[in-house]
Amino acid sequence: MNAGKQVDYLQVFNISVIDEVRGIVKIEHTQEVPEYKKTLIIKSKCVKSNLKVFVTFESEYATMMLASEY
């Protein structure tokens, strides 16, 4: 996993529909320590609504959950 890069225990992914007709989606990945932010624009007609996903890391395990489950 991310060799040589420091990874925070909490990763946040904000997924936003920019253009539903053309299937344009923005994915923004952030972490707090060390500060990191990357934005991707992709084409996907599968994403129909905005989502926030949290990924937490603890030793050997990772847990992924929607913001409504956090």
**Domain region containing 61:** 10-69
Is 59 a member of any domain? yes
pTM of the model: 0.85
Is 38 a member of any domain? yes
Is 52 a member of any domain? yes
Is 57 a member of any domain? yes
Domain count along the chain = 1
pLDDT tens, N- to C-terminus, the chain (70 residues): 456 678 899 999 999 999 999 999 999 999 999 999 999 999 998 999 999 999 999 889 999 999 988 6
Q: Which two tokens stand for residue 38?
A: 């990357």
Is 5 a member of any domain? no
